[in-house]
Amino acid sequence: MESRIIFHIDFDYFFAQCEEIRTPDLKSKPVCVCVFSDRGGDSGAIATANYIARKFGVRSGIPIIFAKKRLEERKDAMFLPVDFEYYEEMSQKAMDIIKKSVDIFEYVGKDEAYLDVTNRVDGNFDTASHLAQQIKNAVREKLKLSCSIGVSSNKLISKIASDFRKPDGLTIVSPEKVEEFLEQLKIRAIPGIGKKTEERFTEMNFETIKDVKKLDVFTLNKEFGRKHGTYIFNAVRGIDTDPVKEREASIQYSKLSTLKKDSIDYEFLAENLIELCKELHEVIKKNNKTFKSVGIQFIQSDLTNKTKSRMLKNHTSSLEELQKNALLLLKESLEEQKSTIRRLGVKVSELAEIRGQSSITNYF
């Protein structure tokens, strides 16, 4: 395969940075953007924290009450509710700026994207470096938003590189520098290597990517399964052939609610899910949409997240179809569910405009 030039762009501490842009006085303070639950008080979790708050051990996903304890000595610490509409707007504006400079644009999430710029820079890494800096400058000048960019010949190394000098970083890893760049890093730097895999490597006395390269593919497959083992074997060598695929942000509608009690009881959860479907259906109806995918979301008592979705045969806007499929997903999910559920959500995607009356069930 001919050499590509891929950027991974990642907006720094995105939600909290958006709040700093809106209220510049926040920049000198610890800022925590919180998903407050419907139970009131400090119930809920941290969505994003700025770098000042992170110095005190505040991370996304930890309960708000823990974050407040860690920031006790900082009387100026700010705990703000999430404002997804505002972050979505900022993300869209930034992505629109970025898209103008690339060959292929792959949206990953509100705060990250992959860009293939091979033709744009004529395969030249020096030109790519200038282009990356121009993108960073344009986003900062127009939106005051800082981002980090990793530049390499594939998606994997670019993603690792974008995280290397955060915040506001730019890291170029040309093909001849891949080995030197990767070998210095801890194994956890590889996307997809979680805490359990890292702990297993620690037990085996392996800490860096250089250490793990000593293992052959058969040993890795035996330890971690064929799929994950082969991925690790390739990743520590910087091998990744996944192309950048044209992908825009997919619009979806969702409703999420905190339950009155943590539970895995089907009847209790189904009752709440039916109500959420009704609320979501009002949004679908108001926006004159049909949907083809239905999903449910659990936020468990330990604040970890689980989702499950299914594709329907045809587009519909029927409340009955929405409830029926959401309840089927609930039933399937609960078969293997051990942890109690704290928050429950439902979402629809693969949306389309309603065009006339195609059936009695999806006409309003």
111 annotated among ligand-binding-site residues: yes
Residue 227: HSE in the Cβ half-sphere, 13 Å Cα cutoff? 1
Three-class DSSP category at 286: helix
Three-class DSSP category at 151: strand
Q: Please, is 182 exposed, middle or buried when counting C-beta atoms within 10 Å of its C-beta (0-12, 13-18, 19+)?
A: buried
Contacts of 186 (CB under 8 A, 6+ apart): 207, 208, 209
Query: How far is 54 from 61, CA to CA, in rounded Å?
Result: 12
Fill in the DSSP letter of residue 189. G
The answer to whether residues 212 and 236 touch, using CB atoms and an 8 Å cutoff, is yes
Catalytic residue among 112, 198, 275, 350: 112
Tell me, yes or no, if 2 is annotated catalytic.
no
Kindly report the backbone phi and psi dihedral angles of residue 275, in degrees, each rounded to the nearest multiple of 5, phi listed first: -65, -40
Query: How far is 92 from 248, CA to CA, in rounded Å?
Result: 10
Cα–Cα distances (Å) from 338 to 195, 263, 264, in that order, read 20, 10, 8
Three-class DSSP category at 110: coil
Give the pairing of strands 289-300 and 305-316: antiparallel
163 annotated among ligand-binding-site residues: no
Q: Which residues are catalytic?
A: 112
Known binding positions: 10, 111
Known binding positions for Mg(2+): 10, 111
